[in-house]
Amino acid sequence: MAKTGFLTDTTVCIGCKACEVACKQWNQLPADGYEMTGDSYDNTQTLSGSTWRHVAFIEKSGRKRLTGDVDLVALAEGVREELPEGAEIDGLGRWTFMSDVCKHCARAPCQQACPTGAIIRNEFDNVYIQPDVCNGCGYCVPACPYGVITSVPEDGRAFKCTLCYDRQKDGLEPACAKACPTDSIVFGEVEELERRAEERVRELHERGYTEAYVYGTEEVGGTGGIGGNHSKFILMDRPETYNLPAAPELPQEKVGPAVAASAVAAAVLSAAVALAFRR
């Protein structure tokens, strides 16, 4: 069966949070309460065991040079009217939105860390947590380099996006993609999504947005043995701007360097102790 995933195009996201609402409604997830953070208009704050889609509000400022026709990209960045070719906007604040979700890594660190086999790859090659097998050990939480998985306080079990596994089995697209009014979230086969992402980035480059790129490939956002993601993103800034790691790694990739550093430190300490006794 074909591998399925998401393509999230941040250039056309309007921050409406329809995907968040649809995800909670379909999956019957509880409300997280209402808390004014004071940091931005985004009060959901982050992904969690009860929020599987999160639209981040990222406020930016500074000069933006526009060339050609103003399109949805410009609108998403805060431009609200047509501008002459080559016009400059100085000091205009603008918003960047990104609907974040589980990355469904090709070689998922959370799956490798799970001791009970609760985390599997289903027939759509999505990373799926079996709630009836999860024992709440929490090993998957620090293993995820994207900070996606969290435990719920009720019983300590971990939950995250299932890519609407139940809907996929019935031939339906996930609730978030269905609800997205701008098609910022697109669901489909991974190979087709990769093709669409490359085509969109090429189109953005032709319009002068040379900073656009695809995050979630083996080269960008899938390094460190992860092998790329089935949830890909079209970004217009550095990954860190969107609270994404530039070079995510499998936890075990850090074991070798850590052991080597410990061995060097032990050798230096032993030499210092021996020298002290000799003196």
The residues, any chain, with a CB within 8 Å of residue 49's CB and separated by 6 or more, are 149, 150, 151, 152, 157, 158, 159, 160
> Are the C-beta atoms of 184 and 10 separated by less than 8 Å?
yes
Pairing mode of beta strands 119-121, 231-235 = unpaired
Per-residue pLDDT of the chain (279 residues; tens, 9 = 90+): 789 999 999 999 999 999 999 999 999 999 887 777 776 678 788 899 999 999 999 887 654 554 444 444 554 455 445 555 555 544 456 788 999 999 999 999 999 999 999 999 999 999 999 999 999 999 999 999 999 999 998 889 999 999 999 999 999 999 999 999 999 999 999 999 999 999 999 999 999 999 999 999 988 766 667 889 999 999 999 999 999 998 888 876 655 555 667 777 877 888 888 888 887
Cβ-contact 242, 235 below 8 angstroms: yes
Bind-site residues for [4Fe-4S] cluster? 13, 16, 19, 23, 102, 105, 110, 114, 134, 137, 140, 144, 161, 164, 176, 180
CA–CA gap between residue 222 and residue 249 (Å, rounded): 8
Amino acid identity at 256: G
Cβ proximity of 161 and 39 under 8 Å = no
**Please, where are the H alpha helices in 18-169?**
18-27, 72-76, 109-113, 140-143, 165-169
Distant-in-sequence, close-in-space partners of 249: CB < 8 Å, separation ≥ 6 = 145, 223, 224, 225, 226
CB 105 within 8 A of CB 229: yes
Annotated binding site: 13, 16, 19, 23, 102, 105, 110, 114, 134, 137, 140, 144, 161, 164, 176, 180
Q: Write phi, then psi, for 243 (nearest 5 degrees).
A: 60, 40
Burial class of residue 5, CB neighbours in 10 A (0-12, 13-18, 19+): buried
Closest CA to 171 of 196, 188, 154: 188
Specify which residues 58 forms β-bridges with.
96
- Selection from 83, 88, 87, 80 nearest residue 69 by Cα: 83
Give pTM, 2 decimals.
0.79
